[in-house]
Amino acid sequence: MRMRKITWIFIVVICVSLILSACGSRDADDVVGDLEKKLKDLESYHGTGTMTLNTGNEAQEYQLEVSYKSPHYYRISITNSERDVTQIVLRNDEGVFVLTPHLQKSFRFQSDWPGQQGQVYLYETLVNSILTDDERQFTMDDEQKSFVFDVNANYQNRSLSRQKIWLSKDGYEPQQVEIADDSASVLVLVKFNEFEFGKQFEDDAFDMKRNLSMWQMKSLPTFLADQEAEDNEAESGPTNLSFGVYTPSYTPEGVEFSDLREVPRDDHLAILVRYAGVYNYTIIEEKPEAKDVSLTQGEIIDLGYTFAVLTGEIQKTLSWNYDGVEFKLTTDDLPKEEMVKVAQSLEGQIGK
């Protein structure tokens, strides 16, 4: 009798364990269903982390800060810690802005960005890439307490073909993203240090003027010293170049370097570099004065290490800032994808 009682207790324990185990486990369909609801109910979030790019000669690391507030407010900040240079993409009721705070410069134009443009650091992009890939692969990472999805990558950079996304088991916060090329080499790595849903923002968190002035107030002594030096240089007329020439490491097939020359501006010199062949284009490099630029039409291009603005239809111009230098790539025949490759190949290059 006692033996039978022990046997029944053992059976009950096993059944309870199996039930609890089944309740605690979730398969891909369960997680996908939760993510659909999470995306539908998304009101706001804020995350910080690092982004490492392995697309140049050496790996480059950037500090990343991402903010979103429903229905269409965005603030993405990318900082090169080594050079202490920050660039911000901002969207509010006034439009979309690309800000370079240390130059006190802003581009403004009407756009539905991010729209259909994938951004590796936006939660909506990551979740949508999981939801739309019917061949997604699903695993669990017990060490990081994560659900892991291996899905197709859909970014402006077509060399990025696959991505692995780590989401926390507790609340589906993004923890890590790896984006690889066709040979499985990881070109982009994003690691979130923190990520908070339902973030409460200050009223002016997405205000353009605030985001420009925040940097200036933080760096006021340095800013004033630099401004005084620039004023002294301006009094003596155009200055010599305070930076070297940046040479892209990528040149489209059938294109060769043509010539390089200095171009005088009002208070400084710029460098103009020409390339000719199957395609023809010029790159202007300069350190201009701070100014606001309003554009009626334009497209934000994510170069990975910074943001660029593409304008024009017949004659196209891609403008971006890097290492305190403003670049403008202008062409009437170089395809957009080739323009982006040329611009991306400047990452990690040192002015010579």
Name residues whose C-beta falls within 8 Å of residue 92's C-beta, 6 or more positions apart in sequence: 73, 206, 207, 208
Residue 224 confidence (pLDDT): 40
3-state secondary structure of 65: strand
Dihedrals φ, ψ of 116, to 5°? -90, 0
> What pLDDT is attached to residue 34?
96
Say what the pTM is: 0.79
Q: 188 in helix, strand or coil?
A: strand
pLDDT at 168: 96
Q: pLDDT tens, 285-297?
A: 998 766 667 766 7
pLDDT digits (tens, 9 = 90+) for 59-106: 889 999 999 999 999 999 999 877 778 899 999 999 899 988 887 888
Structural tokens at position 104:
């006190």
Residues of the chain with pLDDT under 50: 12-13, 16-24, 217, 219-240
DSSP secondary structure of 197-254: ETPPPPTTTT-HHHHHHHHHHHTHHHHHHHHHHHHHHHHT-SPPPSS-----S---TT
Look at residue 256 in the predicted model and tell me its pLDDT.
96
Q: Helix (H, G, I), strand (E, B), or coil: what is residue 60?
A: strand
Strand locations in the chain, DSSP E?
44-53, 60-69, 73-80, 85-92, 95-100, 105-109, 137-141, 146-152, 162-168, 174-180, 186-197, 255-264, 269-277, 281-286, 292-295, 299-302, 307-311, 316-322, 325-331
Please give the Cα distance from 232 to 251 (Å, whole number).
Answer: 39
In the beta sheet, which residues pair with residue 259? 274
Amino acid at 57: N
Which amino acid, one-letter code, is at 348?
A: G
